[in-house]
Structure 1
Amino acid sequence: MPWPGVIICEAIKNAFKRKKSTVDYPNEPGIKPTKGLRGMHHFDIDKCIGCSICARVCPTIAIEMVPTEKTRTKKRPVINLSECIFCALCADRCPKDAIIMTDTFELSAFEPEEMIIYQTEEDEAKEEQEEDE
């Protein structure tokens, strides 16, 4: 058995040699998402047919179907990320792939309204305009 003094010296040496086990997040890049991560949803209003399957399969009732601005008969999903458990059932069951799961996992927000995903026709027009530029 080694001497107690040797053990203490070895422990002190190792304590100062080790690399940091944490990073200065968010100032330094943190972990990268792994393949298959179920992150934030992306909703494509052009593909959505308003069938409400996504809202019906959601186990936490985080998806609500609301009427669109132009036509009150067609509905679109509004996803509340603060209630979502990211099970991806909505994306799996969508017949037109209007909802997909991205690898965006940094979802902190100061206001509850920032945790709600919805896409209006105006938002879609802005995205198309940005792509054209």
Structure 2
Amino acid sequence: MTFLRNAAVAAAAVITAVAGPAAPAGADPAHHTAEAHAVSVDGQSKNSTAEMAPAAQKPQIQPASSSADRDAAAKCWSGRTDGGRKFFKTCNGTSYRVYVDCTDGRYLFPETFSGQWEFRLTCPEGTHADWGGNW
């Protein structure tokens, strides 16, 4: 009997180490979402969240601080990371959306922006921000 109890404890330890601790009963599973906080030049503020984009979804994107085409919906500049989960940039345009590339994938924010906005895009916990831009 002691052998079976020890085997069960050892198995539970291995499962926890591989899969992580179990969520409490009734708890929602952890969502891997990125967050956006934007402030316009006239003081408006917007917040948004994004799930990781499916690999098949590849909108025409423009990296921040790139030499944007004249036809692009927006131009972004001052792109930078904080070395952790956050990516910062400023964009100006007529109708555009933003994205952030995190170490686990790309997050496309659904909110449409118009005019000049300063963005703080935050990757999910356990990841780092690589870069971002607009689409």
TM-score (norm 2): 0.27
More strand as a share of residues: 2
Say which one has the larger Rg.
1
TM-score (norm 1): 0.27
